[in-house]
Amino acid sequence: MALTPEMAKHLAPGFDPIPLARELLRATRSGTLATLAQDGAPFATLTSVATDVCGTPIILVSGLSHHTRHLEGDGRCSLLLAQTGKGDPLAHPRLTVAAAARRIERDSKDGERVRRRFLTHHPKAELYADFPDFSFWRLEPRHFYLNGGFARAWDGPAAEVLTDLTGCEAFVDVEESALGHMNADHLDAVRLYATKLAQKEDGPWRVSGIDPDGMTLLAGDRTARIPFPSRASDGASLRKILADLAAAARNAR
């Protein structure tokens, strides 16, 4: 869904909030999760975050934690995702996701995909992801609230930011193999994506997620988001996009 003229007239000239919101959603690895306690009081905690193919946030939580018990009683929650850096923390962009939490069954098809996508973003979580008291949850967005700086505030429904998977069924089927192929055979290209296209410092960059709108890269605690110039709907279109990006990165100064 594109920004309407009514929405756009309230934004700073030239500011498009959707790419920034998507970058925060896809590339931020931890956030503040706010839940509702049994007495209705708000409760906030820090949690690791990944995203499903469509962009829905994924969390891995222990049944022993307060916030898990809160979600079991009332799935309404919000998640704050913020960039960090030098200077005033409030000068950096942040995104609030108003959502409804849903537990994912481990043995379901969704469970296998969610587990894989979370662990590619947080490899160390494999140490405890399969403990019986841990579970994966999808925080299904209802609304997004973006603060990108002065005159750069925006809010809108989930469909504005999430990736529409209509017509991308073939992409979803090849996403796992494509990610493995890039990390096994094309790490030279991945480093170029990070250093030339995303302007990040060199490092052991690898792909931590691919979706129809772009890919997320990871090097230690650092992340980078590479938006695609066009939508990837299947394996053929994804291969062409990745090859074109590699060529652009090699030609970049």
Which of 160, 180, 207 is the last residue in one of the domains? 160
Tell me the residue range of the domain where 218 lies.
169-251
Please check whether residues 103 and 188 belong to one and the same domain: no
Check pLDDT > 60 for residue 5. no
Please check whether residues 244 and 122 belong to one and the same domain: no
Which of 160, 192, 211 is the last residue in one of the domains? 160
Please give the Cα distance from 156 to 169 (Å, whole number): 26
Q: What is the pTM of this model?
A: 0.90
Please give the Cα distance from 170 to 245 (Å, whole number): 21
Cβ partners under 8 Å of residue 108, min gap 6: none
249: left (phi over 0), alpha (psi -120 to 50) or beta: alpha
Please check whether residues 180 and 131 belong to one and the same domain: no
Which of 124, 140, 160 is the last residue in one of the domains? 160
In this predicted structure, what is the pLDDT of residue 12? Answer: 62
Token pair recorded at residue 49? 């975050």
The total number of structural domains in the chain stands at 2
Average of pLDDT values for 164-174? 92
Average of pLDDT values for 10-15? 65
Average of pLDDT values for 235-244? 96
Please check whether residues 76 and 27 belong to one and the same domain: yes
Q: Are strands 50-51 and 153-157 parallel, antiparallel or unpaired?
A: unpaired
Check pLDDT > 80 for residue 156. yes
In this predicted structure, what is the pLDDT of residue 1? Answer: 47
Per-residue pLDDT tens for 22-69?
Answer: 999 999 999 999 999 999 999 999 999 999 999 999 999 999 999 999
Please check whether residues 138 and 212 belong to one and the same domain: no
User: What is the domain-level CATH number for residue 19?
Assistant: 2.30.110.10
Please check whether residues 140 and 202 belong to one and the same domain: no
Token pair recorded at residue 194? 């990070």
User: What is the domain-level CATH number for residue 209?
Assistant: 3.20.180.10
Sign of CA dihedral 51, 56, 214, 15: negative
Please check whether residues 139 and 183 belong to one and the same domain: no
Please check whether residues 92 and 190 belong to one and the same domain: no
Token pair recorded at residue 90? 């409030």
Per-residue pLDDT tens for 177-234?
Answer: 999 999 999 999 999 999 999 999 999 999 999 999 999 999 999 999 999 999 999 9
Please check whether residues 220 and 130 belong to one and the same domain: no
Per-residue pLDDT tens for 66-101?
Answer: 999 999 999 999 999 998 877 788 878 999 999 999
Task: Supply φ then ψ for residue 58, to 5 degrees.
Answer: -120, 135
In this predicted structure, what is the pLDDT of residue 15? Answer: 80
Using alpha carbons, select from 35, 44, 31, 45 the residue that is nearest to residue 80: 31
Burial class (CB in 10 A: 0-12, 13-18, 19+), 236: exposed
